[in-house]
A and B are shown apart, each in its own frame.
Chain A
Amino acid sequence: MIEVEHLTKYYGEIRGVEDLSFKIGKGEIVGFLGPNGSGKTTTMRILVCYMPATRGQVKIAGFDVEKDSMAVRKKIGYLPEHPPLYNDMTVRSYLGFVGRLRGLGKRETGQGLERVVEVCALSEVVDRLIGQLSKGFRQRVGLAQALIHNPEVLVLDEPTIGLDPKQNADIRSLIKGLAGEHTIILSTHILPEVTLTCQRVIIIHQGRMVADSRLEDLTREQDLEQAFLKLIGFEQEEKRT
């Protein structure tokens, strides 16, 4: 579903990501791990056609992100790090607006709206202004916006950041519930979250890929945190002292 080959992105002289290659099959949930500033957001922004890569090729559902950008954008739902919300709109009008932007007709938008309101448990706030919502609800509205057109591929950039444990668990179970029909790639630096939601992890560090494996393989001998720290070159000994 997602094919990334030798993806490289430089911001002027500064390296964003370097020579990233991976494939993600249909229906997989993949955790995208890395310390802050490792290139997770950069990679995701390239996947969703927000910005072009310096080198390399990315194909989503067989379409190239540069040549068939419009076709790719139709297939993708994207939740950026800061949910793109308009504070002076109600949840209902906002989701309707996004539905129209995503190319849905009036009826499809209505149906999509009902579906995402139920899936994201937004029914109690659907007629409230987004500006008045709590962080947890804002995050869920962000997720609803990414889901309204029932996309094949879902790209979530730190979907659980800043949420309390209860909201966190809600979002996690929500994401798990979406597996199967949607291909999901989610980035995070909160490790326990990955063990609970993903089947596979890709770890990047300083723009380079340091691991790409099934979660079981990575955590057979050690827990994920140890494996992660080892991969990004943080010595175990150092950590103990």
Chain B
Amino acid sequence: MRVMSAIFWKEFKGYFLSPVAYVVLTGFTAISGWLFYQLLNYFIRITSIMQGYMVKGQIMREWTLVDDVMTPLYRNLSLLLIIMVPAVTMRLFSEEKKLKTEELLLTCPIRMSSVVIGKYLASLVVLFLMLIPVGVYLAIILIYGTEPDPGTITAGYLGLFLVSFSLAAIGIFASSLTENQIIAFFVCAVTGLFFFSVGLASRSVGTVKFFGHSLDFSELLRQLSLMEHYNHIVAGRIQTTDLAYFLLIIVFFLFGSRVSAESARWS
């Protein structure tokens, strides 16, 4: 516990001693604010013209703040996270390797798991701070919106946290693989994109015969897809499997980071 908090504070202060935190926090606030403004602006303009999505003079679907402002915002922001999160996590282990300070960590009477968790928590706090502005947009909608569904749009906000925390676990693992921060950044971004897009393939594959067992490949890919689970949450249908999915990704990659960080011993 003592070690974990020592690592946590060192990393957390490190974020604010270097430009990383400022760049990420400003960047995310600016882009997400701009997106929110544009979506809301468009929503106001289009609702003043017509009530909803029309086909042959019939309203098929009414415009709502949930479907036409918050849901697109959450979808876009989740992609923005693929760039922001690796920038936060890329230095966590790479820098230790580069400065040769991992030799200190590996010879102190500490467990590598506390080091990994301490570092992970530090990145989570930065990501938490980064996502606060989105809470402000959410509050604006909840306060000024006419009939927003608070459950659904809050669920989407939670989804953003889950996605960024999962990407952070992937990022810390990527960082433990290399002493080069740029490589760590791209490994995380590409792995993140893989998890986002793997579900797209599910439409083109069917059931596969595998040693006499039939394997529903399409369902497997859909379950593996981060986008799929995220969409459930954004739509307000949170299931235990969705939460389990994110938890599993976090645990898996944190465990991988521990093993990878210890692997310096195996040379």
Which residues does chain B contribute within 8 Å of A74, judged by CB atoms?
109
* Smallest beta-carbon distance B139→chain A, Å: 36
Asked if residues B2 and A73 are in contact (CB atoms below 8 Å), the reply is no
Which residues does chain B contribute within 8 Å of A86, judged by CB atoms?
10, 14, 99, 101
Query: Quick check: is B104 within 8 A (CB to CB) of the other chain?
Result: yes
* Smallest beta-carbon distance A108→chain B, Å: 11
Asked if residues B100 and A82 are in contact (CB atoms below 8 Å), the reply is yes
Given contacts A73-B109, A101-B6, contact A84 B265 (CB under 8 A): no
Asked if residues B3 and A100 are in contact (CB atoms below 8 Å), the reply is yes
* Smallest beta-carbon distance B8→chain A, Å: 11
Asked if residues A76 and B6 are in contact (CB atoms below 8 Å), the reply is no
Chain A 82-99 residues near chain B, CB threshold 8 A: 82, 84-89, 93, 97-98
Asked if residues A88 and B18 are in contact (CB atoms below 8 Å), the reply is yes
Query: Quick check: is A40 within 8 A (CB to CB) of the other chain?
Result: no
Given contacts A88-B14, A97-B10, contact A49 B101 (CB under 8 A): no
Asked if residues B2 and A103 are in contact (CB atoms below 8 Å), the reply is yes
Give the contacting residue for A76; candidates B10, B107, B265, B267; CB below 8 A: B107
A93 to B13, CA, bound (A): 11
Query: Quick check: is B105 within 8 A (CB to CB) of the other chain?
Result: yes
Binary contact track B2-28/A, C-beta < 8 Å → 1, others 0: 110111001001100110000000000
Query: Quick check: is A27 within 8 A (CB to CB) of the other chain?
Result: no
Chain A 60-82 residues near chain B, CB threshold 8 A: 70-71, 73-74, 76, 78, 80, 82
Report how many residues on chain B are interfacial, defined by Cβ distance under 8 Å. Answer: 25
A181 to B266, CA, bound (A): 33
Given contacts A51-B266, A101-B110, contact A80 B103 (CB under 8 A): yes
Asked if residues A11 and B267 are in contact (CB atoms below 8 Å), the reply is yes
Find the B residue at minimum CB distance from A129.
Answer: B17
Asked if residues A98 and B104 are in contact (CB atoms below 8 Å), the reply is yes
* Smallest beta-carbon distance A2→chain B, Å: 15
Query: Quick check: is A38 within 8 A (CB to CB) of the other chain?
Result: no
Query: Quick check: is A48 within 8 A (CB to CB) of the other chain?
Result: yes
A103 to B1, CA, bound (A): 10
Which residues does chain A contribute within 8 Å of B265, judged by CB atoms?
50-52
Query: Quick check: is A8 within 8 A (CB to CB) of the other chain?
Result: no
Asked if residues A88 and B17 are in contact (CB atoms below 8 Å), the reply is yes
Query: Quick check: is A102 within 8 A (CB to CB) of the other chain?
Result: yes
Asked if residues A50 and B10 are in contact (CB atoms below 8 Å), the reply is no
Chain B 91-112 residues near chain A, CB threshold 8 A: 99-110
Asked if residues A84 and B104 are in contact (CB atoms below 8 Å), the reply is yes
A87 to B91, CA, bound (A): 14
Which residues does chain A contribute within 8 Å of B10, judged by CB atoms?
86, 89, 93, 97
Which residues does chain B contribute within 8 Å of A50, judged by CB atoms?
103, 106-107, 265
Which residues does chain B contribute within 8 Å of A103, judged by CB atoms?
2-3, 109-110
Q: 16 A-B Cβ contacts within 8 A?
A: A11-B267, A49-B106, A50-B107, A71-B109, A78-B104, A82-B100, A84-B104, A85-B101, A93-B10, A97-B10, A100-B2, A100-B6, A101-B104, A102-B109, A103-B109, A145-B104
Task: Please report B residues at the A interface, Cβ cutoff 8 Å.
Answer: 2-3, 5-7, 10, 13-14, 17-18, 99-110, 265-267
Known contacts A86-B14, A100-B2; can you find 17 more A-B pairs with CB under 8 A? A50-B103, A50-B265, A51-B265, A73-B107, A78-B103, A82-B103, A84-B99, A84-B101, A84-B102, A84-B103, A85-B99, A97-B10, A98-B108, A100-B6, A101-B110, A102-B108, A103-B110
Task: Please report A residues at the B interface, Cβ cutoff 8 Å.
Answer: 11, 48-52, 70-71, 73-74, 76, 78, 80, 82, 84-89, 93, 97-98, 100-103, 145
